[in-house]
Structure 1
Amino acid sequence: MHTHLALKNNSTARARDRTKKAPRSTKLCDMPSSAPGPFGYIDLFAGIGGFHAMLDHAGGECRFVSEIDREARDTYVRNWVDTLPVEERPQINEDITTATPEFGDVDVPSHDVLAAGFPCQPFSKSGLQRGMDEARGTLFWNIARILEARRPAVVLLENVRNIAGPRHRNEWDVIIRTLRELGYRVSDKPTVFSPHLLPPSRGGTPQIRDRVFILGTYIGAERVEAELARGEDPGPVVRRSAVDDWTPDMWRAEWILDDDEKIPNLEQYSLSPTEVSWVDAWDDLVRRFRANVGTKLPGFPLWADEWRRESEMDERALDGLPAWKLELVVKNVKFFEHHHALIDGWLRDHPEFASFPASRRKLEWQARELESLWDTVMHFRPSGIRAKAPTYLPALVAITQTSIHGPRRRRLTPHEAARLQGLPKSFSFGDQRDAASYKQVGNGVAVGAAWHVFREHVLRDRSDLPSSLVNAVLAAPQTPPVAVDSPTALLHQ
C-alpha cells in the first residue's frame, strides 16, 4: 500500500462541469493510434516492474513510470531503465498526484496501455454523484484523470481479491462506473486469476496468488451505454481455473530455488539452531503419530497449550470464548483425549518444548501424506507453524514471513521470491536491505498471470483495438521469459 497524498477538495460542481465538457462519443480523432511500431504503455504504482516485464515481452515501449516508494523506484530503475539507451528511457515520476492536477494539463505522455497496481482506499458512499466525483481524494481518481485526458486503448488494473468482495462493494461500483463513464467497455464481474493455474510454458509459477484484474477497452461512452442498455456485459476475461491440461499439484517448489552454493551469505537464510529445535520437536510428533496411529496429523491447528483431559475442562472459561476459538479448543481436547499416551511420551522426551514461544507450541499440518516436517514448506506465523506440501507456495506478502523450504532448511531469498513472481533470473535488488526487497516482492504483480489475462483480453477485443497493439501481442511468444533455465525438468523431481 502506497502512502496516500490526498488531493485538495474542490467543489463537486466544478468537477461536474469538467466532466460534462469531455466528449462522450467515439470520433476518429479520439481513437488510439494504429501507426506501425511498438505500442506505448505507462506503468503506475509500478513497484518493481511486474507489469513492465510483461508489457515489454508483449512488444511494448514504456513511456512513463510512477512509483512513490524510493527503494522500490530504485529497484525498478536498476532493472528496467538503466539498461536502456538514454533516448529510450521513460519519464520517471515520484508522485502521481503531481502529474495529474485537478485543473490544468496532465503531465503524462500519450500511450496505448495504462497499467496500474493501484492502492485501494475508501470512496465516498453518497451514491448520488458521478463516478469521477466519488473517486475524488483517492489515488484511483488520478488514474481516471489520465484516462480522461489520454484515452489509452486498454486499461489494465490489478488489486487484491477483496476489492471485489462485499466489504468493498462501494469501491468496486465506483471503479466500474467511472471506467464506463470514461468510455471503457469493462465487466462488472471481476477477473480473478493466480499464477499457479498456469503451466510453466505459459508463464506460471508455483505461487497461489489470487488477484483481481480489471481490463477495459476504450470504445466511447455512448457505445458503452448502448451495450449496457442491450444487456451486454463482456464478463471476466478468463476463468479461475487451470489452463490447458495443467494440474497445479504438478508444481514443485524447487522450481524457483537457486543453487545453495551460488547464494552469497547463505547462512543468513538458514534456520537458526533455535528454529531447528522447534521443527525437530514437532517432526518427532509427526513421525510418532504416523508410526503409531497409521495416519497423518489432523488438519485443524494443534494447540499444545490446550491439551488436557475432558474432565479437566473449565466450563465457565469456555463459555467466554468466541465460537471459532471454542471449536478449536474442543477439537484439541478431544485430540489429546484420544492420543494422550503418545503425546505424554513425546512431551517427556522433549522437555525443551515447554520453553518454546507460545506461537511455536502450535502446528497446522496441511502437508497431506508427507511423513516428515522437514519434507514440507513451512511458515513461522504468529498463529503457529504451518506446514504445506512443497508444490505451490502461499502468496508472498509485504512482510518477512518468508516461506521456509524444509529440505534445504532455509528461507527463500529475495531473489527466489522475485522468481516466484515470474521476474527474470537476471533480476537484481543490488545491495538493498532484504526487508525492503521482501516487501517490494510481496507488493508486486505476478508477471505470468498478468500476461495471461492481458493477452486474452487483447485477443477477445482485437476488433476494437489498434492494429499495432494486437499485432505486437500476437507476435510475442506465449511463454514470457522464464525464471529458470529448464522449468519443465524440475516439475517432478
Structure 2
Amino acid sequence: MSSIPTFTFSDLFAGIGGFHAALHAAGGTWAFASEIDPDAAAVYDHNWLRPLRESGAPMPEGVSSFQVSGDIVPLTDPEVRVPHADVLAAGFPCQPFSKSGFQRGMDETRGTLFWNIARILQDPEKRPAVVMLENVRNLAGPRHRDTTFKTIVRTLRELGYRTASEPAVFSPHLLPRSMGGRPQVRERVFILAHYVGVEAAQDPANFDDPIVSSTSLDIDWRKDQWDLEKDLPLLPDGEVDERYELDGAEVKMIQTWDRLLTAVAERLGPGEKLPGFPIWADEWRPLEAATDLIDVAAAKGTPFPAWKATFLLKNAEFYDRHREVLDTFRMQLDAFPASRRKFEWQAGPHRPLSETIMHFRPSGIRAKRPDYVPALVAITQTSILGDRRRLTPRETARLQGLPDTFEFRRTIPGIDGPVVQKDAASYKQMGNGVNVGAAYYVFREYVLSHREGIAAVAPQVVASVESAALNPDDRFARAN
C-alpha cells in the first residue's frame, strides 16, 4: 500500500464521472457525487462506486454508503448536507451559457446552480481546500465574461478563495497523447481556486493569471500532429457493428456534394480555396437578384440582419461564378431535406469527402480535416468518418479520455447482471462530459503552481499530485 496520503473529492453535476477519473488518477478518493440524470448516475455508479463496494473499501468520513445522490438543490438548501472533501469539482450546467441555448446565464434557473456550490464553500465545516469548476467556452465569451464569469470570480473571493481574474480556456487536442491529450477540439473554461481566507483572497496581489491557456502551452507538440486512426485509436472496421454505418440516403447526399465540390475545385485558380462560408443551394441566384431581394426587404422596413445579407451576397457571387456546375446538381439537391442542402467546408485544401470528418448538423453538413474531431455534443451530431460510418460510443469514450474498462452499463434491480444502455443515452452522456486529460492537466498544473498555499490547508492534496504520473492514462493502465 502506498504511504503517500490521499485526498478526498466531491463530484457535483457528476455526469458519468469524467472528473472522478481525473481526480482518481491524481491520487484522490471519492467522498460524494451528485447527478440529477438517473441514466448518467447509474452509469457513474456502475463504473466508479460498484468497484468500491465490491472491494470492501472503507467508507469516507461522513458518508453512509457508496451511492450517487440526486438533485444538488435539496442537499444544499436550506442546510448543506454534502460531506466535507478536500477538493470539490463541478461541471455545473452549461445550457444557460451555451451558444446552442438562449444564453440567459444567471437569469435562467439552471444558471443559478452556481449558488448551490457557493453554499457549500460558505460552510466552514464543509468547504473544500481546492475548487475546480468547468463550463463551456462561451462562459468567457463576450456575452457572459463581464457578467456571469466576473460574478463567479467575485463570489469565490468573497468566500475566501484565491482565483484568477481571467478564465483558463483549454482543450484536450492541445496535449499530446503522452500527457493525456485526445484528438478532440473541446475548448472549455476551467475556474480553479484554493482557500486562503477572505482578506488574502481579495488582495489584488493574489489576483492571478490563469495557470494554463491555449496559447501559452510550453511543450513540444503541435495539434496538427494528431493521427485519429492510431492516436484515438479508431476501432478496426471489422469490429464495428453495422448499425453505425451510414444508410443509403446519407451516402447519396455525401457522394452528391463530393462530386459538386470536386467540380468546383477543378475550376479554381492557383492559390484559391473552396469557400469557407456556408454554401446553401436554396440561396443560389444571380448577384443582381440577391441585391434586389435585400433592397426590397429594406424598403419594406424588414431588412435582413447584416450577417444574412452577407450570406446571401456570397452565395450569389458563388453561383454567378460556378453556375454551369451548380445548375447540373439542382434537381439532386432539391430532393434532399433542407438541412442537407447546406454545406460548410472547413477541411483546408480540397480533398475527397471520404478523407474528411463530417457532422450532419441541423444547420447543414460540415466537413473538417481528418486529424482531430470537433467537440462531442449532447445532441445527435456524432462525427462521421468520411463516407463510412459514425463514431461508436466506445470511440467517443476514448475521445473523452475514459479507459477501455469504462462501460455504458447500469444495474437494474430485479435483473441479473448489468444492462447495456441505448446508444442515444451514451452519446448524450459523452457530449455532456468533461474530458479526463484536460481536467487532469489543468488540476495538476494548478496544484503544483500553488503548492505552498494549498499545502497550508490540505498538504495531502499537494503530496498526492506531486507523486502522480504526468499522464492520467498511466493510473488506469496500472490498475488493469
* TM exceeding 0.5: yes
Is 1:425 matched up with 2:404? yes
Q: Distance in 1 between matches of 2:291 and 2:176?
A: 52
Cα 1:118–1:276, aligned 2, differ >3 Å: closer, same or farther?
A: same
* AA aligned opposite 2:84: S
2:214 — aligned with what?
A: 240
Cα 1:214–1:310, aligned 2, differ >3 Å: closer, same or farther?
A: closer
1:91-102 equivalences under 5 Å are 91-102=67-78
Give CA deviations for 1:420-446 in whole Å, capped at 9, x if unaligned: 111112211121111111111111101
Cα 1:312–1:235, aligned 2, differ >3 Å: closer, same or farther?
A: closer
Q: Is the 8 A contact 2:93 2:111 kept in 1?
A: no
Q: Is the 8 A contact 1:419 1:483 kept in 2?
A: no
Q: Is the 8 A contact 2:93 2:110 kept in 1?
A: no
Aligned counterpart for 2:342 among listed residues 339, 362, 369? 362
Q: Distance in 1 between matches of 2:354 and 2:96?
A: 43
Q: Is the 8 A contact 2:294 2:309 kept in 1?
A: no
2:102 — aligned with what?
A: none
1:285 — aligned with what?
A: 260
Q: Distance in 1 between matches of 2:369 and 2:187?
A: 19
Q: Distance in 2 between matches of 1:317 and 1:137?
A: 38
1:19-58 equivalences under 5 Å are 37-58=5-26
1:210-289 equivalences under 5 Å are 210-225=187-202, 227-228=203-204, 231-241=205-215, 242-254=217-229, 255-256=231-232, 257-263=234-240, 266-289=241-264
1:82 — aligned with what?
A: 50
Q: Distance in 1 between matches of 2:75 and 2:177?
A: 38
**Residue 186 of structure 1: CA displacement?**
0.9
Q: Is the 8 A contact 1:422 1:483 kept in 2?
A: no
**Residue 253 of structure 1: CA displacement?**
2.7
* AA aligned opposite 2:353: L
2:466 — aligned with what?
A: 474
1:488 — aligned with what?
A: none
Cα 1:323–1:152, aligned 2, differ >3 Å: closer, same or farther?
A: same
Q: Distance in 2 between matches of 1:288 and 1:418?
A: 38
Scaled by the length of structure 2, the TM-score of the pair is 0.84
* AA aligned opposite 2:468: A
Aligned length: 429
Aligned counterpart for 2:333 among listed residues 343, 350, 353? 353
Give CA deviations for 1:331-359 in whole Å, capped at 9, x if unaligned: 12111212222333x42xx8433211122
Q: Look up the SS of the partner of 2:359 in the other structure.
A: strand
Where structure 1 has 5 or more consecutive residues not aligned to the other structure, the ranges are: 1-34, 124-134, 486-493
Q: Distance in 1 between matches of 2:96 and 2:50?
A: 36
Is 1:119 matched up with 2:111? no
2:301 — aligned with what?
A: none
* AA aligned opposite 2:12: L
Give CA deviations for 1:246-266 in whole Å, capped at 9, x if unaligned: 111111332332223223xx2
**Bigger mean CA deviation after superposition, 387-396 or 307-316:** 307-316
Once superposed, what is the RMSD of the aligned Cα atoms? 2.5
Q: Distance in 2 between matches of 1:248 and 1:454?
A: 21
**Residue 136 of structure 1: CA displacement?**
12
Aligned counterpart for 1:153 among listed residues 129, 138, 148? 129
Is 1:325 matched up with 2:299? no
Q: Distance in 1 between matches of 2:451 and 2:206?
A: 17
Q: Is the 8 A contact 1:270 1:411 kept in 2?
A: yes
**Residue 74 of structure 1: CA displacement?**
0.6
Q: Distance in 2 between matches of 1:73 and 1:453?
A: 25
**Residue 240 of structure 1: CA displacement?**
1.6
Q: Distance in 2 between matches of 1:137 and 1:252?
A: 38
Give CA deviations for 1:207-238 in whole Å, capped at 9, x if unaligned: 1111111111111112223x32xx44111121
Q: Is the 8 A contact 2:88 2:131 kept in 1?
A: yes
Cα 1:371–1:166, aligned 2, differ >3 Å: closer, same or farther?
A: closer
2:445 — aligned with what?
A: 456
2:363 — aligned with what?
A: 383
Q: Look up the SS of the partner of 2:366 in the other structure.
A: strand
* AA aligned opposite 1:330: L
**Residue 311 of structure 1: CA displacement?**
4.7
Q: Distance in 2 between matches of 1:136 and 1:355?
A: 41
Cα 1:143–1:336, aligned 2, differ >3 Å: closer, same or farther?
A: same
1:399-410 equivalences under 5 Å are 399-406=379-386, 409-410=388-389
Is 1:394 matched up with 2:408? no
Aligned counterpart for 2:286 among listed residues 295, 309, 312? 309
* AA aligned opposite 2:395: E
Q: Look up the SS of the partner of 1:424 in the other structure.
A: coil
Q: Is the 8 A contact 1:286 1:373 kept in 2?
A: no
Give CA deviations for 1:44-87 in whole Å, capped at 9, x if unaligned: 11001110000010011011111111000011111111112244
Cα 1:482–1:71, aligned 2, differ >3 Å: closer, same or farther?
A: farther
Q: Is the 8 A contact 2:274 2:350 kept in 1?
A: no
Q: Distance in 2 between matches of 1:137 and 1:315?
A: 44
1:123-134 equivalences under 5 Å are none
Cα 1:484–1:43, aligned 2, differ >3 Å: closer, same or farther?
A: closer
* AA aligned opposite 1:387: A
- Among the aligned pairs, what percent are the same residue? 53
Give CA deviations for 1:394-440 in whole Å, capped at 9, x if unaligned: 11111111110106x11111221121111112211121111111111
* AA aligned opposite 2:470: Q
Q: Distance in 1 between matches of 2:326 and 2:122?
A: 66
1:415 — aligned with what?
A: 394
Cα 1:121–1:208, aligned 2, differ >3 Å: closer, same or farther?
A: closer
Q: Look up the SS of the partner of 1:115 in the other structure.
A: strand
Q: Distance in 1 between matches of 2:228 and 2:70?
A: 36
Q: Distance in 1 between matches of 2:450 and 2:21?
A: 22
Q: Distance in 2 between matches of 1:293 and 1:174?
A: 50
**Bigger mean CA deviation after superposition, 451-460 or 424-433:** 424-433
Where structure 2 has 5 or more consecutive residues not aligned to the other structure, the ranges are: 60-65, 98-108, 298-303, 410-419
Q: Distance in 1 between matches of 2:268 and 2:94?
A: 49
